[in-house]
Amino acid sequence: MSIRPLVILPDPLLRLVSDTVVNTDSTIKTLIEDMFETMYEAPGVGLAAVQIGVTQRIVTMDPARGDEEKAPLALINPEIIWSSDTTSEYEEGCLSIPEFYGVVTRPEKVGVRYIDLDGKAFEREMDGFAATIIQHEIDHLEGRLFIDHLSRLKRERVLKKFQKLARREGGE
């Protein structure tokens, strides 16, 4: 296992739609182990493979907070199959957009279909914080970021800030 570098805004990789995973082989298992290690080290509660430069439809997440027992979950090819009409608001952040947070409104409950490392299909209901995490991460798989749910003005400010930082770090 190893910690992998995070892809940071404005990297265009974050806007790509990730590819469906066809085989759940040892390469995928190693990738998921690396994703968990990277996510926990960051520290974060969710990570999409694209955030470490791999454009495959894989998400790791752990909605446990504080002293709660860890509840790691790896989802391959996750998709939301239904969502509630009721919504909830959470202040979201993103490992690919460090030190920026914004309140996002999303469905309070979602049904998610995915496969595990053994290729078994699952459907499960998620609500509250877990529902927010999975929606945020599936957005990544579709090339969307949580800032896309904010006002145009806030989104443009964030983009400009990170573009400026990238130019500065690139020596321009």
Report the catalytic residues: 137
Q: Left, alpha or beta for 36 (phi > 0: left; psi -120 to 50: alpha)?
A: alpha
Asked if the bond preceding 107 is cis, omega within 30° of 0, the reply is no
Which single residue is written with the structure tokens 């996002």?
104
DSSP SS3 for 39: helix
Q: Are strands 46-48 and 58-61 parallel, antiparallel or unpaired?
A: antiparallel
Chain centroid to CA 169: 24
Strand 73-83 with 109-115, pairing: antiparallel
* Separation between Cα atoms, residue 52 and residue 96, nearest integer Å: 9
Nearest to 107 by CA among 124, 132, 79: 132
SS3 of residue 93 by DSSP: strand
